[in-house]
Structure 1
Amino acid sequence: MDDIDDELRRLFNDDRLDVHVTPDATDSVVRGANRRRRRRAATAGTFAIVALIGAGVGLTQLRPSEDDSAGPLMPTSSSAATTTPPPSVSTYTQTVTVTVDPPTGSQGTTQGGSSTPKSSRPSTTSTPPKEGSPGVWGKLALGMSEENALKTGSLTNPGEATGSACRPYAMQTNLDSDAVLISPARGIVRIKMPSTARTSKNIGAGSTVAELKAAYPGATENGSELVVQMTATPRWAYVFDSDGTVVTAARMRLADQDCPGA
């Protein structure tokens, strides 16, 4: 152990192992330390600047721009001025009035001179002629030929011709099978009035005989018939059937006719 201590002591005291320091060593060390501090400070400043720039860029990207915030939320005056208003819509309402089975007037026909035929009891579609007027009923007229009568479309269901060749027909407004009687020589000689029809003086089926005579003082009786002659050309007459008290049926008859039972 002592030998080791002695050897170490000898080495430490050897001048050859001394480190010789130059006179400006201290200044060199100080300058080096200052350089290292400046480099560290510069590096730290650079990092700080980069960090600030990065943070600024990030905030700029995160913050919405003025255009983005104002565009969708606040319309500009120009867009409001150019906005086209919605087109106006007009509503048109049309009212259609449909009259079904209108009430009959004082003359037994509807206002306007016609009544609506019913399925169970057809009625007239023509105003009864007045005294002095031709014997016309709808499109049919006393004395009209069979050919012309068929062209009117008013006749239906022709019957068998009788021995005198007179042919009966029903009418669109009177389904009686012999409502119209046509002579091959005289044309239409008889038109039966529907049971709901009335003459221009309000006489028809259901009227009393007294009412008939009061309305037509010139009426003449022929058995159960009451005949009222009309002053027209061709001459014709109203013929009313009655039971002695009430009129049961009415018809228009050509004065110059050749069909039995007309």
Structure 2
Amino acid sequence: MDDDLDDELRRLFSDDRLDVHATPDATDAVLRGADRRRRRRSAMTTAFAVVALVGAGVGLTQLPSSGDHTAGELLPTSSPSTTSVSQSTSTVYSTTVVTVDPPANSSGSTPGAGTPSSGNPSKPRTTTTPPAPPPAEAGKFGKLVLGMSEADALKTGSLIEPGTPVGSCTGYATGTVAENDAVVISPARGLVRITLPSYAKTAKNVAAGTPVADVKNAYPTAVQNGSELRVEMAATPKWTYVFETDGAVVTTVRMRLNANDCPGI
């Protein structure tokens, strides 16, 4: 039985119908295909190199051909004797991304810069500025000056003698005000009060007849004390304007030394 199998195999191997016959141009076709694959790998290597250069900042717009053939030739032609060469152009586009800073806000800073916001913006603070004290004004009228001694006050010729006792102090009328206590002098403190004549005005144009509202506008620090408005001046020695009123307008303006020991002053 083994002999029969050997005979059958020999018969089959000797049958010419099972032979594979190569065409005359088979060798050339194989060589051409290998050449095309080699050129394709070379073209792809060149393309990768170009892409790497573009990433480094070098822009290339056209990939040159390699020899007489390019990477576009991939398939064999139908004719074994004629090779059709097609050229292709590879164009690489380079994209540049530009980051633009956001506009600054009203305070000059850039949103998102610096310390991150907590999400709870602080409320605007409201501050109240107290009224400024009245400007320093000399505590004097004519030749009379608050704090001067009685002897110096008499030498000015502004006082009308004899004086009138005002407790432990002495009151004098003046050539412009007939009241006996228009000027009051303390033995220890000197001249402690001067009464201004009705025509005399303060540095802010307050005088007898000035409405109370105008006095408060002129002197925001004025303090109401009964029928009087008192304004302490920023001067040395310390003294105060005393505006006597009838509730509507000023009736008398006096200058008073703060440090005094005369009753009722």
Tell me the TM-score normalised to structure 1 length: 0.49
Higher helix share: 1
Structure possessing the higher radius of gyration over alpha carbons: 1
Tell me the TM-score normalised to structure 2 length: 0.48
